[in-house]
Homo-oligomer: A and B are copies of this chain.
Amino acid sequence: MVRKLKTAVSGLGRMGARHALNFLNRTPRSELVAAFTPDPNELAWAKIHLEPSGVTLYTDYDEMLKHPGLEAVVVATVTTAHAEQAIKAIAADKHVLCEKPLSTSVEVSQSVVDAANRKPHLKVMCGFSRRFDASYRDAFERLDSGAIGRPSVFRSQTCDKLDPSGFFVEYAQFSGGIFVDCNIHDIDLSLWYFGQDSIVKSVVAMGITAVQPELRKYNDVDNGVGVVEFWGGKIAYFYSSRMMAAGQHDMSELIGTEGKVVINANPQSSLVEMHEAGGIRREIPPNYYGRFEYAFVTEANEFTAACLDNTKLPFKLSGAVQAVKIGCALQESLNTGKKIWFDETGRRVEKASL
């Protein structure tokens, strides 16, 4: 009979619950055996949706790690717990899929990489979901085949639907800021598309609070624009927003010397268009899961396959530290107003030569 990977999910909040269901129902080679949450509401949900399928529920993370036969852990708790839980799981000899970012601190992020490096037989991956999205992959294959010449300028945005509930204000307290929380995906894409070994040369960021001025108390904004220059003549520029009226609109374009590849310039939630009195209208996904649902399913399946078959993960963990480093620098530039420079080894300097 087919062998299945015994998996646990830590955290059953918005994203954790989705991971749990994906590893339970949509990852044929995975067997979800355990789940951890300290939250009573999440636990109540799990009793209905997970327990009847044979998933053991834990309210203690360390206990969950001792679940008999457990092989892999999906860390999907709050960002501040990512690194600690990942390191503990590695110490317990489990494969780890950790939600992004590893941490809002470069040093803490690096400590996860260090822990993983000490156990090379384990698969440790940061969950950059767009790396598993069919369209982003299609784009990568095209540029990789030379279809657009030499990649030179990258534009990418992560734009959430306006949520007037104030959720994002409280969330900002621990998110690391809009560049670390939202644009981390776009930063990661720039490293993927420009080459994982690209060295940042300078960053600069600006931002405003157009709809939620209280964000300033956590040094955050609801609209941010950042520019990242890489050594070797490459530029990435980013936009993030918390106030889209129509819905989630994450899009990217990579401009090469011989062409351009664009991902999701025309967002839509289905193939339906309405012709009505106001014109022609189409709807767009209300949130990132509406856009990336199948990317998360693919992520679950590919992580599982890499663990079972001991094959290479699709990308290296160390890149996640680079992304956090750039995100933190953008956040710092936003708050100091200063442009930040790095030398050709990626070390921070006062001012690089142009």
Chain A residues near B (Cβ < 8 Å): 1-2, 24-26, 28, 52-54, 134-135, 138-139, 142, 147-148, 150, 152-153, 155, 202, 204, 206-211, 223, 225, 227, 229, 233-235, 237, 239, 241, 243-247, 249, 255, 257-268, 270-284, 335-339, 351-352, 354
Q: How many Å lie between the Cα of A352 and that of B208 in the bound state? A: 16
Q: Which residue of B lies closest to A159 (CB)?
A: B255
- Partner of A241 from the list B211, B255, B271, B351 (CB cut-off 8 Å) is B255
The answer on a CB contact under 8 Å between B261 and A273 is yes
Q: How many Å lie between the Cα of A278 and that of B241 in the bound state? A: 18
Supply 9 further A-B pairs (C-beta < 8 A) apart from A202-B206, A259-B276: A138-B270, A152-B208, A153-B223, A241-B255, A262-B273, A266-B273, A280-B284, A335-B354, A336-B354
Q: Which residue of B lies closest to A277 (CB)?
A: B245
A148 to chain B, nearest CB (A): 8
Q: How many Å lie between the Cα of A303 and that of B248 in the bound state? A: 32
25 intermolecular pairs with C-beta atoms under 8 Å apart: A24-B28, A26-B28, A142-B274, A152-B210, A153-B208, A155-B239, A204-B204, A204-B206, A206-B235, A209-B233, A225-B235, A244-B260, A245-B258, A245-B275, A246-B259, A247-B279, A258-B276, A259-B275, A261-B274, A262-B272, A266-B266, A267-B271, A267-B280, A280-B282, A335-B354
The answer on a CB contact under 8 Å between B272 and A261 is yes
The answer on a CB contact under 8 Å between A142 and B272 is yes
Q: Which residue of B lies closest to A210 (CB)?
A: B152
Q: How many Å lie between the Cα of A261 and that of B270 in the bound state? A: 12
Q: Which residue of B lies closest to A134 (CB)?
A: B270
- Partner of A257 from the list B210, B234, B276 (CB cut-off 8 Å) is B210
Interface SS of chain A:
mixed
The answer on a CB contact under 8 Å between B271 and A135 is yes
Q: Which residue of B lies closest to A209 (CB)?
A: B233
A270 to chain B, nearest CB (A): 4
The answer on a CB contact under 8 Å between A245 and B223 is no
A286 to chain B, nearest CB (A): 10
A218 to chain B, nearest CB (A): 15
- Partner of A202 from the list B249, B261, B262, B337 (CB cut-off 8 Å) is B337
Q: Which residue of B lies closest to A21 (CB)?
A: B28
The answer on a CB contact under 8 Å between A237 and B225 is yes
Report B-chain residues with C-beta under 8 Å of the C-beta of A278.
246, 281, 283
The answer on a CB contact under 8 Å between A275 and B263 is no
The answer on a CB contact under 8 Å between B257 and A275 is no
Q: How many Å lie between the Cα of A268 and that of B275 in the bound state? A: 12
A177 to chain B, nearest CB (A): 15
Report B-chain residues with C-beta under 8 Å of the C-beta of A241.
153, 255
